[in-house]
Amino acid sequence: MRFLLPVLLCLIPHWAAADDAETVDAFGALLHEAQLVLTRPPGFVDLSPGRNPILDYEHALRSADGSLEIRLAVRPLGRLEIDYDDPHGAVPNPEHVFPLVFESLATRLSGGRHAPSLPYPPDQARTKFNADWAAAALFDTVSDFATDHKQGLLVAIHRNKVSDAYLVFLFDDYPAVKERLNAAMGTLVFTPVDTADPPGESQPR
């Protein structure tokens, strides 16, 4: 499966729909290709992949009480195709557009409303996610994202020449889920550069 990234004057992220028959093995292979490790937070259950007009996602998790949901979208750079409709400009390099994709996605998730965002300092991106770049944005949800939750936190992580990944945390009451949300930040991280262990799914911590 390849992912289509159209660009028309401004950057608009859109991904090819995930296959309904996406299996655990296929998702594991996608994680391996993207050099990512999934660690299921204690007490969370797996959900099926999902399609919606804003962001298709390959996996999701939900807390036992349903108060916190995590949607995961994995985008290996080798699979990205950029549909660029500007005859006077060069097609953007997928390696250079990830901050714009993040901002565009945050805007779409919030329905064009204010979605305060902030990049992580490089040392925090490496410490938290083994990433070369990472950023987060808070937003109020819209119906197109197919959720009953009212609020969300988008976290984007990037490893140079490898992949991008998006974690979307969905909830209704931030103070009520803050502790679990912070603990779940390590749900999807890049493998350490010097590790000898293969990427994939680890055991819950």
3-state secondary structure 95-122: HHCHHHHHHHHHHHHCCCCCCCEEECCH
pLDDT < 70: residue spans in the chain: 1-24, 80-96, 195-205
Q: Where in the chain does DSSP place strands (E)?
A: 3-8, 10-11, 36-38, 44-47, 59-63, 69-76, 80-84, 117-119, 133-140, 151-159, 163-171, 188-190, 200-201
Prediction pTM value: 0.82
3-state secondary structure of 131: coil
Distance (Å, whole) CA 169 – CA 167: 6
- Check residue 130 and give left, alpha or beta (phi > 0: left; psi -120 to 50: alpha): left
Distance (Å, whole) CA 200 – CA 205: 15
Q: Are 176 and 13 in contact (CB under 8 A)?
A: no
pLDDT at 203: 41
CA dihedral in degrees (75, 41, 48, 166; nearest 10)? -20
3-state secondary structure of 49: coil
Q: Which long-range contacts does 89-92 make (Cβ < 8 Å, 24+ apart)? A: 91/7, 92/7, 92/11
